[in-house]
Amino acid sequence: MKNRCLLAVVALCCTATLSTALAQELPLAQPAKPAVAKPAETPVAKPAVRPLSANVELTRGNPIEGTLTDTTQLQMKTSFGAIEIPLSEVAGVRFATAEEATTTVIMLNGDSVTGATNVERMTVETEWGVAQINGSAIAGILLVPNLEWSSYDGLNGKRWSLVEKKAAASSAAGTPTTRPFNPQSRGTIIRN
């Protein structure tokens, strides 16, 4: 009986303690204030700018060899949108003419992009001085040595590609030949 009384007293004490604890105001959870989403500034990786050696072919056929000093990217409008192409990833650019409405860019990996460009002026530092060339006077730019332009007829008209210049002045038959540009060869010329 003493045990029952003792248990009853303990139960009463616990109940009294709980009721006083529940009687106190407990903090209620409140919904958080709506946060305004701000776009995070994404870090932009900028490639190290290095001088780009270039062979600029003028519309009259004259080449100018030197280093591009103020141009590191080519802005282009394509059928899928506007893009900026870093010239450090480009093997060559063949600009649009009166006969051909599109500019062709051949990348170092062999891919090509066609679209419209608006190059107003290009500055080339040569061994004889600085040349500022109007964009309308430029037929093409080669940024990889020992390449030349080659055209072929495609479904939508004339298409441009880059081919390696043959190291020897002529083949066994006595006529110069070219080989398609292969970026995987890393500049080595494979002879037939």
More confident residue, 188 or 34: 34
Query: What local confidence, expressed as pLDDT, does residue 44 receive?
Result: 64
CB 116 within 8 A of CB 102: yes
Query: What local confidence, expressed as pLDDT, does residue 188 receive?
Result: 40
Query: What local confidence, expressed as pLDDT, does residue 99 receive?
Result: 81
Give start and end residues of each alpha helix (H) in the chain. 2-23
Q: Tell me the per-residue pLDDT of 37-85, one tens digit each, with 9 for 90 and over.
A: 777 776 666 655 567 888 999 988 889 999 988 888 889 999 999 999 9
How much of the chain, in percent, has pLDDT values that exceed 70? Answer: 68
CB 64 within 8 A of CB 124: yes
Residue 108 is given by DSSP the state T
Q: Tell me the per-residue pLDDT of 20-32, one tens digit each, with 9 for 90 and over.
A: 555 566 667 777 7
Residue 1 is given by DSSP the state -
Q: What is the band of 116 on the pLDDT scale with cuts at 50, 70, 90?
A: very high
More confident residue, 126 or 46: 126
Pairing mode, if any, of strands 103-107 and 121-126?
unpaired
CA-based nearest residue to 91, from 129, 55, 51, 142: 142
**pTM of the predicted protein model:** 0.60
